[in-house]
């Protein structure tokens, strides 16, 4: 529990979202100077580098682009800094998935330069935050680090995002699904948010988290149907905003709780490693609803949504056999992780274990009910 009553709110300086915005990047980098340095996901590098060549060829600006090394590690951060400084760039641009973006944020923060973040999918809520998740060069998690400021610009080209694998979009909805639940838990327990050293959350942060949830419930299913047909509709645009901006600003300003705590526990089961962050968080939401004894109306709304879009609501869907041993591994990890203690009630190992078992049973019940 916080000892201060001081509230704090953080967000990117500017946010842009629309089809074709990637091809206008030179206009945005020019705000900070004539030389831009890009780190781009290797999978997308050739296509996006070609587009950048075209955008910059008739401008008064110059750029250099390099392929992202694959891990958000300290050695990769140092490589990006070294090449950025060799080019004498004015602004750093990260283009790609979460690890690419986190590397760009970490590098920019370390040397105090502006950073523009360009997510290429709506798979998580990391782009807007002043945080990076750090790994070893071989992919083992180390810790999270907080930066002095949020990105100067977050730019989302929905034409690119809409063409990303649909599974990423669904996982992004799973991650965003947790934001309001966890925000309410942190607000009730007077827990610190992720702004600076951690402060009381503002009502604004909670409201943005709630809006993210409302958009998912009202438009998530229709957005998914549109993407499956290869088209970008207003519902798709709204859910991309919910996944990226609303959930991103929401989680940073209100913090995580049980749903992400369960995610941390699930990562200790090797069979879950092939599943995406948001997929595991979705089952965490089911567990959090059990812990909080969420009203039936909300439970049924969430369970129907998850079943319709294909988010996991059972351990089986994450390739976890619901044995005592497996559930205990998850529960023990959860109670040794500080996230669960944002919940506004006493946490014990038995309580968490029982909640996971009950959540799994509830998931099976609703799968049969909605089938």
Q: Please give the pLDDT value at position 342.
A: 96
Q: Spell out the per-residue pLDDT of the chain, length 371, in tens.
A: 788 899 999 999 999 999 999 999 999 999 999 999 999 999 899 999 999 999 999 898 999 999 999 999 999 999 999 999 999 999 999 999 989 999 999 999 999 999 999 999 999 888 999 999 898 888 777 888 999 999 999 999 999 999 999 999 999 999 999 999 999 999 999 999 999 999 999 999 999 999 999 999 999 999 999 999 999 999 999 999 999 999 999 999 999 999 999 999 998 999 998 999 999 999 999 999 999 999 999 999 999 999 999 999 999 999 999 999 999 999 999 999 999 999 999 999 999 999 999 999 999 999 999 88
Identify the three-state secondary structure at position 300.
helix
Residue 346 token pair = 């006493």
Output helix, strand, coil percentages for the chain, rounded to the nearest 5: 55, 15, 30
Per the listing, tokens 């999270």 go with 144
The DSSP bridge pattern shows strands 141-146 and 131-135 to be: antiparallel
Q: Please give the pLDDT value at position 119.
A: 96
Per the listing, tokens 């034409």 go with 159
Q: How many alpha carbons lie under 13 Å from residue 46 in its C-beta half-sphere?
A: 1
Q: Alpha-carbon distance 365 to 223, whole Å?
A: 26
Q: How many alpha carbons lie under 13 Å from residue 284 in its C-beta half-sphere?
A: 32
Residue 175 token pair = 């991650």
Q: How far is CA 358 from the centre of its chain?
A: 27
pTM of the model: 0.94
Sign, CA torsion 117/123/129/133: negative
Residue 218 token pair = 């009202």
Tell me which residues are annotated as active site. 175, 260, 263, 277
Q: Please give the pLDDT value at position 304.
A: 97
Residues paired with 65 in a beta bridge:
38
């Amino acid at each position: 529990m916080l000892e201060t009553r001081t509230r704090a709110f953080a967000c990117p300086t500017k946010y842009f979202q629309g089809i074709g915005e990637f091809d206008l990047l030179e206009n945005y980098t020019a705000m900070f100077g004539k030389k831009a340095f890009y780190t781009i996901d290797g999978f997308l590098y050739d296509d996006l580098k070609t587009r950048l060549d075209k955008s910059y060829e008739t401008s008064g600006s110059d750029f250099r682009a390099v392929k992202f090394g694959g891990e958000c590690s300290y050695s990769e951060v140092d490589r990006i800094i070294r090449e950025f400084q060799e080019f004498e760039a004015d602004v750093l641009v990260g283009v790609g998935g979460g690890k690419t973006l986190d590397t760009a944020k970490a590098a920019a923060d370390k040397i105090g330069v502006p950073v523009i973040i360009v997510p290429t999918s709506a798979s998580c809520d990391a782009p807007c935050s002043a945080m990076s998740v750090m790994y070893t060069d071989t992919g083992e998690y180390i810790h999270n680090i907080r930066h002095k400021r949020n990105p100067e610009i977050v730019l989302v080209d929905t034409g690119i995002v809409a063409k990303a694998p649909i599974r990423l979009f669904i996982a992004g909805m799973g991650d965003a699904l947790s934001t309001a639940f966890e925000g309410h838990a942190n607000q009730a327990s007077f827990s610190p948010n992720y702004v600076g050293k951690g402060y009381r959350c503002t009502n604004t942060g909670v409201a943005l988290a709630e809006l993210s949830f409302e958009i998912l419930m009202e438009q998530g299913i229709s957005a998914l149907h549109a993407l499956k047909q290869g088209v970008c509709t207003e519902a798709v645009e709204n859910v991309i905003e919910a996944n990226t901006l609303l959930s991103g600003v929401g989680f940073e300003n209100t913090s995580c709780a049980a749903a992400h705590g369960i995610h941390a526990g699930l990562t200790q089961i090797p069979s879950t490693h092939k599943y995406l962050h948001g997929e595991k968080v979705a089952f965490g939401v089911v567990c959090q609803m059990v812990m909080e004894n969420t009203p039936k109306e909300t439970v049924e709304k969430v369970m129907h949504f998850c079943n319709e879009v294909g988010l996991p609501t059972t351990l089986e869907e994450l390739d976890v056999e619901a044995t005592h041993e497996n559930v205990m591994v998850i529960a023990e990890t959860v109670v040794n992780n500080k996230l669960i203690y944002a919940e506004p009630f006493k946490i014990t190992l038995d309580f968490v274990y029982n909640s996971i078992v009950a959540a799994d049973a509830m998931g099976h019940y609703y799968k049969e009910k909605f089938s």
